[in-house]
């Protein structure tokens, strides 16, 4: 069975906007007529369901423990995007074995009847949980913000993903930039670092501006 086209949204540093970008990309694809799902692959601190505004009563943990199939964990959010919720620090998920992670990835194909495009919102960093999920996706978007620590951590992530999975093309979104010109500048500076040390191609697919409406107050 053909599995949905899968896009991983990942980052080196935490808190750079992966979850918000995942949800908004999913909503944009949905508006364009695609059947979209978000898999919250942040298995320790899952929160994509909060951003999407749905309250899943089944998570990937239920599928992994055999209580339901992967397809049965899919919930429909109010805005029409489907979601597979992640975990919340449960011991069994934190120490997920390679086999279990591969099982999740293989089971993506179970979703093919209802989802054309799966957005995989990962945790930050380069732990095995993150690498394996990213490796299983067709396309990888790395989120970077214009801060030295974000540069260093994004560089480290791309390096590890390149070395461990052989991937040599990465899409990059610059988040929280003042405007497109600043975003382009940040990207150019970031690419100068990877160009110097890694044999990878980075593609700047967009800049997202700082948006004060994301704050609750
Ligand atoms: N473009 C933006 N403008 C303003 N605030 C933003 C923007 N993008 C993200 N944020 C804020 O940054 C914080 C982190 O966002 P988000 O949870 O999406 O990041 P994350 O990369 O998924 O974090 P984590 O690594 O913890 O999973 C949130 O408070 C969010 O509202
Ligand atoms: Mg997140």
The domain that holds 163 is classified in CATH as 3.40.50.300
Q: Which residues of the chain have pLDDT under 50?
A: none
Tell me what pLDDT residue 130 has: 87
Domain count along the chain? 1
d(CA 176, CA 198): 26
Tell me what pLDDT residue 136 has: 87
Provide the CB-side half-sphere exposure for 155 (13 A, CA). Answer: 18
Tell me what pLDDT residue 67 has: 84
Residues having CB within 6 Å of any atom of ligand 1: 11, 14-20, 42, 124, 175-176, 208, 210-211, 214
With CA atoms as reference, report the closest residue to 116 among 1, 4, 25. 4
Tell me what pLDDT residue 185 has: 98
Tell me what pLDDT residue 159 has: 97
Ligand 1 atom with minimal separation from the 214 CA: 31
Tell me what pLDDT residue 105 has: 74
pTM of the model: 0.93
Cβ count within 10 A of residue 165 = 14
With CA atoms as reference, report the closest residue to 44 among 86, 11, 15. 86
- Rounded to the nearest 10 degrees, the angle between the axes of helix 148-165 and helix 180-197 is 50
Q: Which residues pair with 12 in a beta bridge?
A: none
Cα angle for residues 173, 177, 182 (degrees, 5° grid) = 95
d(CA 158, CA 139): 13
To test the pocket of ligand 1, the residue of 20, 153, 182 to mutate (highest count of ligand atoms within 8 Å of its CB) is 20
Can you give the residue range of the structural domain that contains 70? 5-214
Tell me what pLDDT residue 209 has: 96
């Amino acid at each position: 069975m053909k599995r949905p086209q899968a896009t991983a949204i990942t980052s080196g540093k935490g808190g750079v906007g992966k979850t918000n970008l995942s949800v908004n990309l999913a909503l944009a694809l949905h508006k364009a007529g695609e059947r979209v799902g978000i898999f919250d692959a942040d298995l320790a601190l899952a929160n994509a369901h909060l951003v999407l505004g749905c309250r899943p009563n089944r998570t990937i943990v239920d599928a992994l423990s055999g209580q339901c199939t992967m397809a049965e964990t899919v919930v429909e959010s109010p805005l029409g995007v489907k979601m597979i919720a992640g975990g919340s620090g449960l011991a069994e998920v934190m120490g997920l074995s390679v086999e279990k992670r591969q099982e999740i990835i293989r089971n993506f194909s179970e979703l093919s009847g209802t989802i054309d495009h799966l957005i995989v919102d990962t945790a930050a960093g380069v732990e095995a949980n993150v690498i394996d999920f990213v490796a299983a996706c067709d396309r990888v978007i790395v989120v970077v913000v214009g801060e030295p620590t974000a540069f260093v951590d994004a560089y480290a992530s791309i390096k590890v993903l390149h070395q461990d999975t052989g991937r040599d093309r990465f899409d990059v979104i610059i988040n929280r930039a003042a405007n497109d010109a600043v975003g382009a500048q940040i990207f150019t500076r970031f690419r100068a670092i990877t160009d110097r040390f890694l044999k990878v191609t980075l593609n700047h697919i967009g800049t997202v501006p700082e948006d004060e409406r994301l704050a609750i107050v």
